[in-house]
Amino acid sequence: MEIGELIYQGKAKSIYKSDNDDELIALFRDDMTAFNGEKHDQFSGKGVYNATVSAFFFDYLEKHGIKTHFIRMIDEKTMLVSKLEMIPLEVIARNRAAGSITKKLPLKEGQVLNPPVIVTDYKDDAKGDPAVNDDLILALGLLTRDELNEARRTTLEINKLLYDFFDELGLVLVDFKIEFGRRGNEIILGDEISMDSMRLWDKETGESFDKDVYRFNKGDVMTAYARVVEKIINWKKEQIK
C-alpha cells in the first residue's frame, strides 16, 4: 500500500491519499491536545492505542449492523478508510452529565441522564464549535430531515452497543463524540472512536480512563489508555475460549 500525498493535518490524525480515489489513509499520531489546542503534548504509543481501539470498535459496530468507514489496518497506527464527505458536526451522546454540560446547566457531575442525551456541535474551531439544534442543522443544509432522523437513530444504537460493551469491562461510558460523513447517498460513521473522544469511568471507583486524565492532570494518561486496551484484549481472549 502506497501512502500518498498529505491532504489534511488535524490535531491528532493526518489524512493521506491512497492509491484508490475512494479510499484514504488515516495516521493516528502521538499528539494529544485539549481545550481547543491550547494544551498540547506528545505521548509515545498514543497513536497506536487510539488506532487499535478505533479499529476494534469499527469492527465491533460493523458486526452489529452499523456502517463505518473502516476498511483495514495498514500498520498498528495507520488505518485504511473509505473516503467520506464529512458532515461538519460533532455528535455527542451522553449517559451521565460531565464536562461542559455541568457548567451550562444545573446537572451534577456523574448525574444519570435517562434517556441518554444527544447534542450536536457545529465543527468550526475558529468559532469554538458552537452548539446547534435540529432546526439549525436543517437551516444550514447539513442534513435532510430523514438523514437527521437516521443519524439520531444510529447514534442511539451505537451508544447502546458501546455502553453495554464497556459495562461488561467494568467501565461506565459517560459520553462520547462521533462524526458522520456521506458516501453516495449513505450516511456512514467516520473519524475515530477512542479514549480521546469519550469519557470512561471505573464502575466502582469513578477513576477516569480517558482524555480527562490529560485535561485535568489526573495521573499518567498513557497508563490509563493502556488499561483500556488491555481490558479489550482480555475481552477478545474470553470470546475465543
Binding mask 60-99 for ligand ATP (x = CB under 6 A): ---------x-----------xxxx-x-------------
Cell of 195: 479514549
Does residue number 88 form part of the binding site for ligand TYD (CB under 6 A)? Answer: no
Binding ligand ATP by CB under 6 A: which of 3, 4, 11, 116? 11
Number of H helices, E strands in the chain: 6, 15
Contact of residue 47 among ligand TYD, ligand ATP, none (CB under 5-8 Å per partner type):
none
Rounded to whole angstroms, the Cα distance separating 61 from 63 reads 5
Going by C-alpha positions, the residue among 227, 112, 123 that lies closest to residue 181 is: 123
Cell of 140: 444550514
Contact of residue 69 among ligand ATP, ligand TYD, none (CB under 5-8 Å per partner type):
ligand ATP
Q: Which is nearer to ligand ATP, 179 or 210 (CB)?
A: 179
Rounded to whole angstroms, the Cα distance separating 134 from 122 reads 11
The burial of 92, by beta-carbon neighbours within 10 Å (0-12 exposed, 13-18 middle, 19 or more buried), is given as buried
CB atoms within 10 A of CB 73: 15
To the nearest 10 degrees (0 to 180), the angle between helices 221-240 and 46-63 is 40
Please, which of residues 102-121 interact with ligand TYD by CB under 6 A? 121
Rounded to whole angstroms, the Cα distance separating 49 from 141 reads 36
CB atoms within 10 A of CB 136: 13
Binding ligand ATP by CB under 6 A: which of 121, 147, 175, 179? 179
Q: Which stretch binds ligand TYD (CB under 6 A): 39-47, 54-62, 93-101, 220-228?
A: 93-101
Strand order across the 180-183 sheet: 85-86, 180-183, 186-189
Contact of residue 8 among ligand ATP, ligand TYD, none (CB under 5-8 Å per partner type):
ligand ATP
Q: Which is nearer to ligand ATP, 81 or 132 (CB)?
A: 81
Contact of residue 13 among ligand TYD, ligand ATP, none (CB under 5-8 Å per partner type):
ligand ATP
Please, which of residues 15-54 interact with ligand ATP by CB under 6 A? 15, 24
Binding ligand TYD by CB under 6 A: which of 55, 81, 92, 137? 92
Q: Which stretch binds ligand TYD (CB under 6 A): 133-141, 180-188, 197-205, 220-228?
A: 197-205
- Is the CB of residue 69 less than 8 Å from the CB of residue 167? no
Residue 231 φ then ψ, to 5°: -65, -40
Q: Which residues contact ligand TYD by CB under 6 A? A: 90, 92, 99-101, 121, 129, 175-177, 197-199
Q: Which residues contact ligand ATP by CB under 6 A? A: 8, 10-13, 15, 24, 69, 81-84, 86, 179, 181, 190-191
